[in-house]
Amino acid sequence: MRVPGLKSVVALGVVTLLTACEKEKPVAEYLPRVFVQEVKPADYAAPITLTGDIQPRVQTELSFRVGGKIIQRSVDVGDRVTAKQVLARLDPKDLQTSVDSAQAQVLAEQARVTQSAAAFVRQQKLLPKGYTSQSEYDSAQAALRSSQSALSAAQAQLANAKDQLSYTALVADAPGIITARQAEVGQVVQATMPVFSLARDGDRDAVFNVYEALLAEKPKDQTIVLSLLDNPAIKTTGTVREVTPAVSAQSGTVQVKVGLNSVPAGMELGSVVSATARGSGKSVIELPWSALTKNISEPAVWIVDDKGQAQLHTVTVGRYLTGKVIISGGLEGGEKVIIAGGQLLHPGMEVEIAENTYKDLTWEAKP
């Protein structure tokens, strides 16, 4: 039996099916979109900030050259003194007695010289006339020379006694500032015992205690910027003048003295200063924090290989800084490191590289 219009219905269905097949398109595979940064090694020198104090270039320990009892002290800690200024005095009684005794000895020897000289003159007059013998003449001459030598010795002893008496006054050998006092009036001191510490006027040093590891490599820039800790606006510059060869057993540090090129007002002795310097530059790589991930327990980064696939690469972190990390090993340069979009990656996954602009640790996709 023939159904009217059956052929038309079948034909219409076939046309509809063919049209639907033509409209269907294969669904494109989704690729994660990532931002990358090309690795470029650069020299990096880590800044080092230390704290120290201002000290004199030359500091002298002043002491008496003779022992005795202190009867006068004219200066105190912090006082400014001038050259040849008397700082303290010892009781001079005993040494004054020595001077008086030496003076009396000189007078006695002068009298002997006068007597011996008169006797020798008489012998000189009598010898040509035959009224005296040659032996008596020689004896008178020897007595004169002996008395003259004794007088010279007595005069030397007197001069020494006077020098000893002058040493009862402690005198500043140069202008400067008294930084310490180790004795008081009424105290009996021995010769060479320190009484005052004098910071001489002139050049100043900034002294720092530095851990030996920081001095392993000599910095390229020898200029060091120093500023007052309580007033950073007061600044100056200096260069390393001296590094002690031995490490302190108590602190494990090395003393470094930085000679100041100039001493600004306010940077007085004992002022606490901070110094900033940079070590020698090393070839390292800087990456933003967002690039860092880990491979089990080790730091790592994602890189895009030549096939456009993400690969996990272990690296060595040299230093963590604000907003970035310093990679000291594991990358050579030229690699494309993923800096954003690497949260859901796995090794061997194909990715799409988005064009990006690196500015202040932010990335913006270009249209």
pLDDT tens-digit readout, 200-229: 998 999 999 887 766 655 555 667 889 998
How confident is the model over 85-140, as pLDDT tens digits?
Answer: 999 999 999 999 999 999 999 999 999 999 999 999 999 888 888 888 899 999 99
Q: How many CB atoms within 10 Å of residue 240?
A: 17
Over residues 338-353, the mean pLDDT reads 81
In this prediction the pTM is 0.58
**Shortest CA distance to 253 belongs to which of 225, 221, 215?**
215
Residue 361 has pLDDT above 70, yes or no: no
For residue 365, the model assigns a pLDDT of 37
pLDDT for 19 equals 52
Residue type, 121: V
For residue 262, the one-letter residue type is S
CA 278, distance to chain mean position in Å, is: 13
Q: Is 309 exposed, middle or buried (0-12, 13-18, 19+ CB in 10 A)?
A: middle
Q: What pLDDT is recorded for position 243?
A: 86
**Which tens digit of pLDDT belongs to each residue from 43-88?**
666 667 889 999 999 999 999 999 999 999 999 999 999 999 999 9
Question: pLDDT tier at 311 (50, 70, 90 boundaries)?
Answer: confident
